[in-house]
Amino acid sequence: MLRVVGRIVLLSSLLFLLPPDTLAQEKSGDLVGRFGVGLSGSFSFPVGGLERRHRATESFGLLISYIKTARSTIEVEYHRTRFDPGKMEDAQFFWPPTDPTTWKIYTSPLARNYFTVNAFTINGLYHFADRNAHEPEGLKQRVAAGPYIVYGGGFYHYTDSVAGLIFSGQPDLGSGLDDTLLIESFEDTDVGWGFNLGGGAEVMMSNTASLDVRARYHLIIGELRQMDAYNVKRAYPLHYVDIGVTMKFYFTSF
C-alpha cells in the first residue's frame, strides 16, 4: 500500500514541473482554465529488443486535459497497445539438439504470441506559442496552431504471451520430431515505471475543438525473458515509438 501511495505522490509531483506563465489570466474566449477530453489513435513501432520480437501495430487512447496557463497543459492519459501477432510465431530452432551434423530448421505451426501494454500516465505539455486570446484594435485573435513538447511518466502494465512452441530439447528417438510435444505456455507480465518524451502540434479548429498530432518515445522499466533455443535474446528495457492524432474537445472551467 505504501508503495502505491508513494507512486501516486511522485506522479502528482509532475504537475508542478510545468513552467509558470504570467499570462494565465482567463479572458472570455480563452482556453486557459478549461478542461478537455480527447480520443486518440496512433501507430506504434517497437524499438530495440522489442522490435526483434514484435511488429508495428495500431493503438488507441483516452485523455483528460487541463489548460493550466497560456503555455502549459496537464494531461491524464490512458492508452492501450497490442502488438499482435508477435515474431515468436515464426521463431526457428535446430533439431536434434545433440548432433549438429544432422541439424534441420523447424518452426512451430501452432505458435501464438502477442504483447499488450496498458499505460496510465500524467503528462506535461509546454507550448511554444501563447494561447491567450488577444484583442488588438478590438479584433480577437488566437494562435490557430502551435508546436509543443510533451513529457510524462506513469505505470505501464505489460504482458507478453507465448504458447504453442514445440519443445526443441526433445531427444531423437529415431521417429523424427514430435510436433505435438509443446513447451508450457507462459506470460511475462508486470507493472513497470514508464516514461515518455516527444513533440507535436495542436491545431485549433474552433473555440472548443482541436486536432492534436504528436510523436513520442516510450521507455518501460521491464523485461522479457530470453529463449536461447529459439535464438531470442532478453529484452530490457522495453521501448516503442508512437505517432498519432488526437481529437480534443474543451469545456469551460468548472
CATH of residue 236's domain is 2.40.160.20
C-alpha grid cell, residue 20: 509558470
Mean pLDDT of the residues in the chain: 85
Instruction: Calculate mean pLDDT across residues 130-154.
Output: 69
210 located within any domain: yes
Give the global pTM: 0.82
Place of cell 493503438: 59
User: In this structure, what is the dihedral angle of CA atoms 164, 169, 174, 175, given to the nearest 10 degrees?
Assistant: 0
137 located within any domain: yes
45 located within any domain: yes
Question: Which residues form the domain of 209?
Answer: 2-18+40-251
DSSP for 61-80 reads: EEEEEEE-SSSEEEEEEEEE
191 located within any domain: yes
Of 146, 129, 161, 121, the C-alpha closest to 242 is 121
Greatest mean pLDDT range, 15-19, 94-98, 132-136, 162-166: 162-166
35 located within any domain: no
Instruction: Calculate mean pLDDT across residues 55-73.
Output: 94
Residue 42 in this model has a pLDDT that exceeds 80: yes
26 located within any domain: no
Number of domains, the chain = 1
Grouping H, G, I as helix, E, B as strand and the rest as coil, residue 13 is helix
Per cent of the chain over pLDDT 70 is 83
Instruction: Calculate mean pLDDT across residues 99-122.
Output: 93
247 located within any domain: yes
Instruction: Calculate mean pLDDT across residues 192-196.
Output: 97
Helix, strand, coil share (%) of the chain residues, nearest 5:
15, 50, 35
115 located within any domain: yes
